[in-house]
Amino acid sequence: MTPMMPSAADLLPLLPELVLVGAAFALLMLDLFLDERRRVVTHALAIVSLLVAAAMVATGVGGQGTVMSGMFVRDTAADVLKVAMCLVAALSMVYTWPYLRQRGLYKGEVAVLMLFATAGMMLLVSAGSLVMVYVGLEMLALCSYALVAIDRDSPLASEAAIKYFVLGSLASGLLLYGMSLVYGATGTLDLAGIGAAAMATQSSALLVTGVVFLVAGIAFKFGAAPFHMWLPDVYHGAPTPITLFIGSAPKLATFGMAYRLLEMGAGGLDDRWRLLLAGLAVASLAIGNLSAMVQSNLKRLLAYSTVSHVGFLFIGLAGGGAQGMAASMFYAISYALMSAAAFGAIVVMSSRGFEADRIDDYKGLNARSPWMAGLILCVMASLAGLPPFLGFWAKLAVLRAALDGGLMWLAIVGVVFAVVGAFYYLRVVKAMYFDEPDGQVPEPVNNRPLRIVFGVNALALLALGFAWNPIMAWCQQAFAV
């Protein structure tokens, strides 16, 4: 039987993705005709493409719906995540240009790879089939591997890229094996069909085993303990703005994948995967926070901090229900903004030959630049979950979801490790305000536009702490019955 070609109506909900992919191909061709000095044109157009895609999603261009025989689902949950991903990816690209250009690392492919990675993320959060999940995931992963290895002359970056590729391939294999078991148990690749089969056959050992592998694959992609072994080395070895990119927007995409696979696909087994996620949350909180406490390198500290934040996100998922999903989505969006600001601080403070990635590099910063020290204080306070910053409300939302889900013990564990986690963020604050600098610290490059962007990013964490309700309401609307 000849397969039917998708109609124009099938392609309408995909318009933002088509625009982004079309822009990526166009910029790939345009870059061939630009010399080194004019390459900023490619980068600027890539940022514009991301903002256009975000505007199209936010304004509902193309409309919502399920198309391509159920493989692509565009709903409110997907739209919220897509807007956030495009905006965070655009923010990442603003940090990327001056850093890589100053070090002679910038290539036109950087912007193109980021666009393709974002397109993969958008497909992932709109997946209605196991096939689309895997296509979106691999599109994101392959672009990420190449971005980490962009500095080919750096042994550290090359090692990070190899580890990322090998362990990422292992995670993809776990996920694919889980998908094959789920398909074998249900006889369908459609997530809605899998959900119906899961409700009818909850005692199927094959299906339960498949879901366990899916949870393991999701935890690997998130960087949850004990599947976090790739995270510190990749975050440390990759160029800082690339770390910024892979440490922010993909977390939103992975949350979307978890929602599609677990809530839509394996919703009938939620009493089992919720307990798995609760266990992963405890492991992530313990290992992430305790490991971060002994780090002297700021990028590795933020890497282990990511593990602990994934633990908080899993607390919301373990809480279950619409409230738990909304809280976790709100946490993912909040963390993406906080992560972008944290790594953005390193980008702004660094200069050629000086990476500003050690905590000691920030000693006495308040005496040299009170404004910059104040901005970094905002970032660290938000990551620590101090009121009234955005991070406080994000943690409060997932803890409340755990209580609503009958997991008081998990909420107590979360509160304890929130206090523990504040310690290592305060170490950075102490270094800036109370320590004397060790020797002469190089002055960062005076890039005014970059400093303005970082200032807006950092202060947004405070401003959104007072105006977080609209974002939370949008997240709740995404899962309203």
Long-range contacts of 5-11 (CB under 8 A, 24+ apart): 6/67, 6/68, 9/67, 10/67, 10/68, 11/67
In total, how many domains does the chain have?
A: 1
Residue 387, domain member (yes or no): yes
pLDDT tens for 231-249 read 999 999 999 999 999 999 9
Residue 3, domain member (yes or no): no
Tell me the H-state helices in 231-294.
Answer: 231-237, 240-246, 249-258, 270-292
Residue 8, domain member (yes or no): no
Residue 129, domain member (yes or no): yes
Range of the domain at 91: 13-478
Residue 409, domain member (yes or no): yes
Question: What is the mean pLDDT, run by run of 10 residues, along the chain of 481 residues?
Answer: 60 92 94 83 94 95 88 94 96 92 86 95 95 94 93 89 93 93 93 89 85 94 91 93 94 95 88 93 96 93 96 93 93 96 93 84 89 94 94 96 93 95 93 82 71 94 93 91 61
| Rg of the chain (C-alpha set) | 21
Contacts of 77 (CB under 8 A, 6+ apart): 125, 256, 259, 325, 329, 478, 479
Q: Are 325 and 274 a contacting pair, CB within 8 Å?
A: no
pLDDT tens for 329-377 read 999 999 999 999 999 999 999 887 788 889 988 998 888 889 999 999 9
Distances 11 to 67, 234, 316 between C-alpha atoms, Å: 8, 37, 34
Residue 4, domain member (yes or no): no
pTM of the model: 0.95
Per the structure block, which two tokens stand in for 461?
Answer: 């964490």
